[in-house]
Amino acid sequence: MMNDTKQYALITGASQGLGKAFAFDLASRRINLLLVALPGEGLPAFAEQLKQHDVEVHHFETDLSLRENLYALADDLNRRFQVFMLVNNAGKGGTTRFEMAPLEYLNGIIELNILATVQLTRLLLPNLKRQGKAFILNVSSMAAFSPIAYKSVYPASKAFIRHFSLGLREELRAFNIVVSVVYPGPMKTNADVTQRIESQGFKGRIGLFSPAAIAKLGIEGLLAGRANIVPGLANQLNRWLMGTLPEAWVIRMVSKAVKKELRNRN
């Protein structure tokens, strides 16, 4: 039974990194929040902290890569809340030789980055459609614009997000639902990513933004109805180069930078 008629924005992966920055940004715009992250990562305390912005905040600790958890969460949300904005942010990746990558690692990326995004979007769609005007922001990556060696399935998962989102955008236009994709370059969100960015030296800093800056650009772009949000001039130039130079050169160049991470680690 729906007893809460307020509208909410739902953010996945909201306990740290970019998801946390989205939560701060939306709370500062006085938008009510539904936050999702894995259990035991401080989400309840963060939800309490956000209430200082005079917004309603509810939190849900669950593993979105497990289909039964995701279905149960979507069911609960659809019964209890009006969701007018969905931010599909939770995602993971890494750098490793494909032959060394355990299957659980590869499955984990596909389950979270691809399956959870598609399933949550599909299950919440009737709810979003009811809102009069609604918004979906999917978090891709600059890695979506070129295949990259030693990143295994991560760049392909982010290219999937790009194609899925832009097709859906066209389809949902008729229902007054805006779909946007944001493509962050490097962000020092957690210790692992920070170490990887720093090991790339100067190249790792090209297009670097803080999570707060990306969250702001992402939400502004979404509310303005933009399809593709590529943050900053360096990333825009990078995207243009990746689409213009011969593909084989681009793949070799971006892969060389990533290979350096492996060498610095070994």
Ligand X SMILES: NC(=O)c1ccc[n+]([C@@H]2O[C@H](COP(=O)([O-])OP(=O)(O)OC[C@H]3O[C@@H](n4cnc5c(N)ncnc54)[C@H](OP(=O)(O)O)[C@@H]3O)[C@@H](O)[C@H]2O)c1
Measured from the CB of residue 135, what is the shortest distance to ligand X in angstroms?
A: 17
187 belongs to the binding site for ligand X (CB under 6 A): yes
Note whether 189 binds ligand X by CB under 6 A.
yes
Nearer to ligand X, 82 or 189 (CB): 189
- Please tell me the distance from the alpha carbon of residue 220 to that of residue 250, in angstroms, as a whole number: 30
Smallest distance from ligand X to CB 180, Å: 14
Span 238-257, contacts to ligand X by CB under 6 A: none
Does 139 sit near ligand X (CB under 6 A)? yes
Q: Which of 9, 18, 47, 87 binds ligand X (CB under 6 A)?
A: 18
Q: Is there a contact between 250 and 148 (Cβ–Cβ < 8 Å)?
A: no
Q: DSSP assignment of 106-135, as one string?
A: HHHHIIIIIIIHHHHHHHHHHHHHTTSSEE
* x/- track of binding to ligand X for residues 64-103 (CB under 6 A): xx-----------------------xxxxx----------
The DSSP symbol for 161 reads H
Q: Cα(167)–Cα(165) distance, rounded to whole angstroms? A: 6
Report how many residues bind ligand X under the rule CB under 6 A.
29
Instruction: Find the part of the chain contacting ligand X (CB under 6 A) among 96-104, 182-190, 231-239, 256-264.
Output: 182-190
Return the range that interacts with ligand X (CB under 6 A); candidates 17-25, 51-59, 224-232, 254-262.
Answer: 17-25
Which residues, in sequence order, are CB contacts of 266 under 8 Å at separation 6+?
Answer: none
Residue 75 beta carbon to ligand X: minimum distance, rounded to whole angstroms: 17
**Cα–Cα distance, 18 to 22 (Å, whole number):** 6
Are 186 and 177 in contact by the 8 Å Cβ rule? The answer is: no
Largest Cα–Cα separation, the chain: 57
Q: How far is the CB of 251 from ligand X (least distance, A)?
A: 18
Buried b vs exposed e over 82-109: b needs ≥16 C-beta within 10 Å? bbbbbbbbbbbbbbbeeeeeeeeeeebb
* Interacting residues toward ligand X by CB under 6 A: 12-19, 36-38, 41, 63-65, 89-93, 112, 139, 141, 184, 186-187, 189-190, 193
